[in-house]
């Protein structure tokens, strides 16, 4: 063999590239945002939270690309807790005191910022509060009805509260007749949808197993979009959603299954804006949020928010 084999050259080339890449990385040329840069943390587009945020904060404009789109509400909070320059949105149930903080939100500049608390959510003074919903195909019947009645009872609503959300007012609670539900042939209820609600749904399923041992509740997340899609296909019994079904989706469900989706409010959530615990920023307005997250937004640095870099 007189000629150097080409593999040899490949080897040498990759070796050189490896060295270069390492050097690049160590010298800090690998871009990455500076301290002042706002790191946007968002959700994947199947999430109801994502759509709610787009509708109510961005006024239906699109998100700016390049945000970190997490697959779960917990991942959002987790990333923000580890990243000083980050800002993101998630359900209030995912708050981790001491690691992240929730920013008070003002409707517009000059208006008083409002904390995302239970009281402010119930009296609707918090600007981005929403209902937690479940949908069924047609009026709920049989075991599905019993299950839903139970989630709306005192016991079910207690779980909403312990999961970190806002339960319905006591006068909205339903009566639940426990003994009647505790027997019957084995049934499986399929629940799917919102990631915001998946922890509530899971806690319900866990507790309901004790109330009615013959009912197996299967809970899946995936996002409100996924739940609604599955409801339209008729493959699940109950859909969790953190946004309302769109008119088109209701039409489609009617066409596909012949039944009208029934909407039931099971609790309330304040869509909280999270930042790192050491971030000095005190409050934020909806306009500023739109400026950060929207496609045509111009806010990319913390200093533009009249806040020092975290």
Partner 1 sequence: MKPDTPALFTETALVRRKYRQETVAKWVFFVMAAAMIIPLLLIVGYLMVKAAPSLTLGFLLDVPVRGMTEGGIWPAFVGTIYLVFISLAISAPIGILAAVYLNEYARDNWFNRVINLAVINLAGVPSIVHALFGLGAFVYAARFGYSILSASLTLAIMTLPVIVASTREALASVPRSFREACWNVGATRWQTIRAVVLPNSISGILTGVILQVSRAAGETAPIMFTGAVFYKAIEKGDLFAYGLHEQCMALSMHLYTISTQVPGVKESIPYATAVVLLGSVLLVNAAAIALRVYMRSRTKW
Partner 2 sequence: MSARPKPGPAPARPQEPSPPAPEAYSFAVRSARRPAWSVWGERALEGAIYLCGISAIIFVLSIFFFVFKEAAPVLVGGEFSLTEFLFSPEWYPTSEENKRYGVLAMLAGTFSVTALAMVLAVPFGLGAAIYISEFCGSKLKETLKIVIELLAAIPSVVWGFVGLTVMSKLIVTYTGAPVGVNILNGGLILALMSVPIIVSIGEDSLKAVPDSYREAGVALGATKWQLVRRVLLPAAKNGLLAAVLLGVGRGVGETMAVLMATGHAVQIPHGILDSVRTLTANIAAELGEAPAGSDHYRVLFLTGVLLFSLTFVVNLGADLVVRGIRKK
Angle, CA 131 vertex, CA 155 and CA 111 arms, to 5°: 125
Among 121, 163, 224, 279, binds partner 1 (CB under 8 A): 163
Among 144, 219, 228, 232, binds partner 1 (CB under 8 A): 219
Q: CA 287, 289, 292, 296 torsion: positive or negative?
A: negative
Q: Which helix (H) or strand (E) holds 55?
A: helix 48-56
- Contacts to partner 2 from residues 31-70, by CB under 8 A: 31-33, 35, 37, 39, 44-46, 50-51, 54, 60-63, 65-70
CB of 187 to partner 1, least distance (A): 11
- Rounded alpha-carbon distances, angstroms, from residue 167 to 56, 103, 203: 22, 22, 14
Q: Which does 32 bind (CB under 5 to 8 A by kind): partner 1, partner 2, none?
A: partner 2
Q: What are phi and psi of 269, to 5 degrees?
A: -140, 140
CB of 215 to partner 1, least distance (A): 8
Q: Which does 124 bind (CB under 5 to 8 A by kind): partner 1, partner 2, none?
A: none
Which residues partner with 265 through β-bridges?
Answer: 133
Among 168, 217, 228, 292, binds partner 2 (CB under 8 A): 228
Among 223, 261, 267, 297, binds partner 2 (CB under 8 A): 223
Burial 133-158 (b: 16+ CB within 10 A, else e): bbbbbeebeebbebbbbbbbbebbbe
Which x/- pattern, by CB under 8 A, does the window 267-306 give for partner 1?
----------------------------------------
């Amino acid at each position: 063999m007189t000629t150097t084999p080409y593999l040899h050259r490949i080897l040498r080339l990759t070796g050189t590239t490896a060295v270069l890449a390492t050097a690049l990385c160590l010298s800090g040329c690998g871009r990455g945002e500076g301290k002042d840069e706002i790191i946007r943390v968002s959700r994947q587009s199947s999430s109801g939270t994502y759509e709610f945020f787009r509708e109510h904060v961005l006024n239906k404009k699109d998100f700016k690309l390049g945000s970190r789109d997490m697959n779960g509400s917990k991942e959002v909070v987790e990333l923000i807790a580890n990243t000083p320059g980050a800002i993101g949105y998630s359900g209030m149930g995912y708050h981790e005191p001491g690691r992240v903080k929730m920013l008070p939100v003002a409707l517009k500049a000059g208006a008083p910022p409002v904390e995302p608390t239970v009281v402010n959510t119930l009296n609707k003074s918090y600007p981005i509060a929403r209902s937690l919903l479940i949908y069924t195909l047609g009026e709920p019947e049989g075991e599905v009805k019993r299950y839903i009645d139970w989630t709306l009872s005192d016991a079910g609503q207690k779980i909403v509260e312990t999961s970190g959300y806002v339960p319905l007012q006591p006068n909205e609670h339903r009566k639940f007749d426990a003994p009647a539900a505790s027997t019957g042939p084995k049934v499986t209820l399929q629940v799917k949808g919102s990631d915001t609600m998946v922890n509530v749904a899971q806690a319900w399923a866990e507790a309901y197993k004790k109330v009615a041992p013959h009912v197996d509740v299967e809970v899946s997340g995936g996002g409100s979009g996924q739940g609604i899609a599955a409801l339209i296909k008729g493959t699940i019994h109950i859909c969790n959603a953190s946004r309302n079904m769109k008119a088109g989706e209701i039409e489609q469900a009617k066409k596909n299954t012949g039944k009208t989706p029934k909407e039931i409010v099971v609790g309330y959530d304040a869509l909280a804006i999270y930042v790192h615990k050491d971030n000095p920023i005190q409050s934020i307005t909806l306009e500023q949020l739109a400026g950060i997250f929207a496609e045509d937004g111009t806010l990319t640095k913390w200093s533009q928010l009249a806040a020092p870099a975290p």
